Every structure is written in structure tokens, then in C-alpha cells.
Chains A and B, each alone.
Chain A
Amino acid sequence: MIDIVLQAWGWERGWALWSEIAANAVLIDRGSTFVTDEIVAGRSAVGISIDFFVNSAIANGASLDFIYPAHTGLNPAHIAVTRDSGNPAGAAAFAGFILSPAGQSLLTHPDIRRLPVRPDVYNELPGKQYNPFAAAANGGLQFDSDTARPRLATLAAVFQQMLVEPHDELRELWQRVRQAEAAGQPTGTIRELLTRPPLDEAAANSPELQRLIGLRLEGGREAALTHAELTWRDRCTQQRRQAAQLLGALKA
């Protein structure tokens, strides 16, 4: 998800956008509330989520709307028959069914709401249904998975150090930035400090760094921070400190 924005907007502008979104956001932990619940309850106006969570909530009666961004990415599900399957014919028949028009139509059940992989199935669905084939034809799915996959954990770690750990502080700093701007004061340098990622894109793509960060995915064990993450943390802290000083000088 992070990389969708980075690829569509470019590295610098992408992180700048994430910075501003994060500063205006509430963060929620795994295993607690759902984004959809928070919005239905009116505690937030907009949330970022994966389509089927929201589309399923809507199909089950939640008062919500879901908007696919102009630039987005697909995370395809897979189906396969394992090599040592005890019942390869049965498994192949099942896979065949899942991929058939009847099987793919099941994906539109209110409890599932995933996107069918067959273009022909979309012809049978109501007009409001998002059609990824049409979106791709309009250039909205230019997501480069080959670049994204190896740096997934790296981007998540940057996001963590840059935007999640100092979240409370960032919210406050950005509020002051907005106040200063409302008062007509120049904030260009401050914005630059608050939105600059602690590393450049070439570094994020380096295989050595990616190996160092490893594969830290959701639900994995808590690992000690690598020296790279400690460096990012310090760099971001310094940038925030400078931004705070400049804001202080503006009396914002």
C-alpha cells in the first residue's frame, strides 16, 4: 500500500504525501477496531483499507462508501495443487471450479467481495462494480510488483521509524505548520524537514539493505532494530527537532 503512492507520486512527493496523511490520522493496532467501524461510528471521516474489507462491510449493511484511487495495485490471490496432493484430480477439479465463471461469481457474495479474475464475469455484475480490467486499460494499475516485493519490509520499517513511532509529536508539529500557514507565514523549509524520508530510493532498493531488514511481516516476532533503522530514527528525530525550532522562531 505504501509503495502504491511512492510509485505513482515518486519517492520524494510520495513520502511527503504519506507524511501529511499520517499526521492527520489515527493509527489503529492489529486485533482492535476495524477501519470500517471507526468510520461508521463517525470517529473518522476517511480511512485507508483494502477493498474487500470495506466492500464486504457495505454489502452487510454498513453505511459507507469505498473509492478506488486512480492509481492502485492488485494483490492477486493464488490457487494451486500441491505436488504431493493426496487427491490431485479432486484438487484440480476444485481449482477448475474456482476459476470458472460460476466459481468466480461466488466472489461477489457479501461475505467475500473479492474481485473476480475473469473479465467475462464483470459483464454479469451490476454497473457500480469496480472493474480492474477497465481500470488497467485506463492506466490506473501501473504498479511494478517486481520493484515493490523485495522492498516491502524496508518501506514498512521506514514508515514505522518516520511516521508511526513519533506519531503524536508529528501530529502536533503539523498542526503548528497549518496554523503558521493560516497566518500567512512561510513554512517551505519546515515542510521539507517533516516530509523528507531518511533514505533515498536507490538505498531502499539495495539488496544489502533489504537483506538486513529481512522479512518482517505482520504477526512476526518482534526483532531488535537494525543499525539502519537506528540511523533513520535518529535522522528523523533531528529533522523534527529542527522543524520544531523553526516553528518556535515563527512563534507558531
Chain B
Amino acid sequence: MKIRLLLAGALLLAALPGFAEPSTVDRDILTRPLPGLNDEELQRFLRGRSLFRQSWVIAPASDTEVDGLGPLYNRIACISCHPRNGRGGAPSGPQERMQSMLVRLSVPGSPPRPHPVYGDQLNEEGIPGVAGEGRAEVHWQTQNMTLADGHVVELRIPELRFVELAYGNIGPVLVSPRVGPHVAGLGLLNAVDARTLAALAREPKTDGVTGQVNRLGRQRLAGRFGLKANTADLRGQIAGAFHGDMSITSPLFPRENCTPAQPACRKAPNGGQPELSAGQLDDITFYVAHLAPPPRRNTEVPEVKRGETLFTAFGCAACHRPTLHTGKSPHRLLDRRPFSPYTDLLLHDMGPALADNRPDHAASGRQWRTAPLWGIGMLAAINENVGFLHDGRARTIEEAILWHGGEGEAARRRYSEADAATRRDLIEFLNSL
């Protein structure tokens, strides 16, 4: 029997009284649809939302639409790592598990070759009867950075240690720890034309900034998603997340995420073939694609206005492009329009301190995709354990800026040489995004 919920009082209201306490922060800001969806599209969006929030269960289960978790997995839901579609964070120390973070693994080669035993991602959890692969502990070292005016900022650097490994010694391996990024506005990024990206990469820039499109496979598709832009489109990214993070098979990844060295994993029951149907994959892709970018806030505040000018003057906008345009898209609301992600989707050498030394397609071990800065000012309110930069090492926006090196070095230097009021203006601008 389909149980339905009851919503009483379908009255037409001219104006609805607002009861929210004015001080309450809107922590659902990253969960809203792009304005302009029609009823049918909205239903699809809501179906996708349910899948994004769904806690997947182990097969076989009475609810056959959402079973098939594991055999090996990291977390049971997309929102575990993308809480309220916001940013994850890193554990505060080795005694804490990774809650919204994962560790990519590979052995040298390009594209990254999976580790023969542990695959391309450490899956900490296993269903009953299948041992989870083990745990990656995060140990923090700290160092102080003194800015030109004497202000001291403590930075922390993660060091990973594998423990409780269930399938034997891991041996030499390339690792890349990453926290879940926020996911609003991604349909727009998905719709940026590959030629636009190539043109951005060719544009001459100052400060030694370059910018490179990640190129994938024989077709040399332009990469857009993932922190090294190693995935061309949103559907592929999402199917990859189902597969890599939860071992949920889909039309794009029909086989369970088990290596030959994991017999129990290979023998475990599955939740259908595939576990995620093409229709479900379409719905959740539609949802993620049509999440509205967070609206700007406080744009008229003087600090914010000054900060916006500084953002360009410091050279931040060379990579964190304020405006991009989408190309042709089959989706009406994503088709040929300007938007403001504060990224160029290109790879930049960010210096040795941020390097993971794990090349990924055309991306070197020192390159990262420019992080989109839209919504960044809301992330700490959405997740109090938020971590900035790829591995969540930065606890504040300021720490994130101070980690910039390589092509970002000149911009970082301008920030650290500025006086306190100027720095505050820049941060206030970032908080308004």
C-alpha cells in the first residue's frame, strides 16, 4: 500500500504570515530549485531530491528502489558528505572518523590506475560479512604564518595514516584526501561549452597565472567536475559518486565496486542490476543540475563593495572568474545565460604545499580546479565543521587564501601584505557570495 501524507487546509492565502525568528539563518539556501521550473519539472526535481537525501539500504530489502548499498562504501547517503548540499569537513583528529570526506587512491600512471587491492578510493565501511577496507586517520601539524602587519594565523596541515587495513598492506600508493564540495548551481557549470573553456585557458593573464583544461580519454573531453576536473559531465560525476562512494551500480557503472582481491565483496547480494535505474539517475541529475546558485547577499554594504574591487585588484578574479556563460543546453533554464560561479573551471598549479602529487588525466600533482566561490559565505553556517580547500585543512576563508601558492602566490602575497581593514573588506565580499 502506498502510504500518503496528509496536508490539510488547501486554502488560498493572499499572504502568509512569517513566523521565523529574524535571526535564524537560512541553512537551506543551497537546496532551492532554479526559478522557473514548471510543475512537471518540479516533480522531477523533488524525486531527485529524495534520492539525494535517501539513506540507501543493504540488499535485499523490502524497499527495492533504494537498496544495494555496498558491499563496500563510505557513507550511506549523498547528503552525508554534502550536508544540506553544502561543504563537508575534515575530522578534528585521528580519533574521529571521516564523516564527509574520502581518500582517492591510485598507483602511478595516467589516467590514475586503481590500486590492485584497494581500488581507486578507500571505502571505510562494509556490509555485514564484507570487511570495510580500513581507516585513514588524519593527524594535524600546525604552523604559524605571520602577515605583514604582524597578525599571526595558525595553519594546519593534514598527514594521513592508514590503520585497520583489512586486505593487507597497502604498499606504495598515491593518495588524495578530499572533502565533499557544495553542490548548488552545477547545471550551469555543466553547460559551459568546451570551446569557452579552451578560450579562457588561452587568454593571456598576469601574475604568471595560466590555466589549463583537463582533457579526458581519447575524445579529449573537457573536464568540469571533481576537484581536479577529471569528469566531463554531471551525469557521469553523479553515477561515479554512486559507484565510488556507496557501491551503487547504474547504467554507467554496471559492476560492483570490488577488486579481484576482495572475494566476499564480489559474492555479496546486489540490489538489482543495475541498482540505480536510468530513470533514477536522470532524476537525481536533473535535481543537481537545477539547484539554484545561492543568491548574493549584502551587495550594498560598503565593505562588500570595497572588497569586490580588491578581489580584482589582488588578482583573485583571474582564476575565480566572476562571470561565465553557458553554451547551448537542452534544458531551457540552463541554455545560453550568464552566471557568477567565481571559477574558470581550469586547472592551476597551486604550489607544493597544496599538491597531492597524484596526477589525474591532464592534471598534474600540483594542479587543482579553481574552486567555485559562490555560496562560500554560507558554508560555515550550514556546516559548523566546514573545511575549505580540497582536503578541508582551512578552517576559515582566510586560512584558505593563505594556502594559495604557485600561480596563486602573487594574489596571496597581496592579501598578506594588506592592512587589517583591507583584508576584512575582501573577506566580507567573499562572505556575500
- CB of B7 within 8 A of CB of A223, answer no
As a 0/1 sequence over residues 1 to 16 of chain B, the CB contacts with chain A under 8 angstroms (1 = contact) are 1111111111101001
CB distance from B135 to the nearest CB of A (A): 15
- Check if B25 is an interface residue, CB within 8 A of chain A: yes
- CB of A61 within 8 A of CB of B24, answer yes
CB distance from B297 to the nearest CB of A (A): 13
- CB of B8 within 8 A of CB of A46, answer yes
- CB of B7 within 8 A of CB of A44, answer yes
Q: Which residues of A contact B7 (CB under 8 A)?
A: 25-28, 35, 38, 44, 47-48
Q: Which of B2, B11, B20, B83 contacts A61 (CB 8 A)?
A: B20
- Contacting residues of chain B (1-54) with chain A, CB-CB under 8 angstroms: 1-11, 13, 16, 18-20, 24-29, 43, 46-47, 50
- Contacting residues of chain A (16-68) with chain B, CB-CB under 8 angstroms: 21-22, 24-33, 35, 38-40, 42-49, 57-65
- Check if B417 is an interface residue, CB within 8 A of chain A: no
Count of interface residues, chain A, beta-carbon cutoff 8 Å: 47
- CB of A63 within 8 A of CB of B19, answer yes
Q: Which residues of B contact A31 (CB under 8 A)?
A: 46-47, 50
A interface majority secondary structure:
loop
- CB of B1 within 8 A of CB of A44, answer no
Measured in the bound complex, the distance between the Cα atoms of B62 and A49 in whole Å is 24
- Check if A157 is an interface residue, CB within 8 A of chain B: yes
- CB of A220 within 8 A of CB of B1, answer yes
Measured in the bound complex, the distance between the Cα atoms of B63 and A220 in whole Å is 6
- CB of A156 within 8 A of CB of B3, answer yes
Q: A42-B13, A223-B1 are in contact. Are A27 and B6 (CB under 8 A)?
A: yes
- CB of A220 within 8 A of CB of B62, answer yes
Q: Which of A22, A26, A32 contacts B47 (CB 8 A)?
A: A32
- CB of B5 within 8 A of CB of A30, answer yes
CB distance from B203 to the nearest CB of A (A): 40
Measured in the bound complex, the distance between the Cα atoms of B152 and A2 in whole Å is 61
Nearest opposing residue in chain B for A49, CB measure: B5
- Contacting residues of chain A (189-223) with chain B, CB-CB under 8 angstroms: 216-223
Q: Which of A22, A157, A164 has the most CB of B within 10 A?
A: A164
Q: Which of A35, A45, A223 has the most CB of B within 10 A?
A: A45
Q: Which residues of B contact A103 (CB under 8 A)?
A: none
- CB of B24 within 8 A of CB of A64, answer no
- CB of A160 within 8 A of CB of B8, answer no
Measured in the bound complex, the distance between the Cα atoms of B10 and A25 in whole Å is 5
Nearest opposing residue in chain A for B43, CB measure: A32
Q: Which residues of A contact B4 (CB under 8 A)?
A: 27-30, 164
Q: Which of B7, B29, B47, B50 has the most CB of A within 10 A?
A: B7
Measured in the bound complex, the distance between the Cα atoms of B7 and A22 in whole Å is 8
- CB of A222 within 8 A of CB of B2, answer yes
Measured in the bound complex, the distance between the Cα atoms of B19 and A59 in whole Å is 11
CB distance from A126 to the nearest CB of B (A): 10
- 20 more A-B contacts (CB under 8 A) besides A39-B16, A160-B1? A21-B8, A22-B8, A25-B8, A27-B7, A28-B6, A31-B47, A42-B16, A44-B10, A45-B16, A48-B5, A61-B20, A61-B26, A62-B20, A65-B19, A110-B27, A156-B3, A220-B62, A221-B62, A222-B1, A222-B2
Some 24 contacts from A to B, beta carbons below 8 A apart, are A22-B8, A25-B9, A25-B10, A27-B4, A27-B6, A30-B3, A31-B50, A32-B47, A39-B16, A43-B10, A44-B9, A45-B13, A49-B5, A58-B20, A60-B24, A60-B28, A61-B20, A63-B19, A156-B1, A157-B1, A217-B3, A219-B62, A220-B63, A222-B1
Task: Give 10 closest A-B pairs by Cβ, nearest first.
Answer: A61-B26, A46-B9, A65-B19, A63-B18, A60-B27, A31-B50, A219-B63, A45-B9, A45-B11, A63-B20
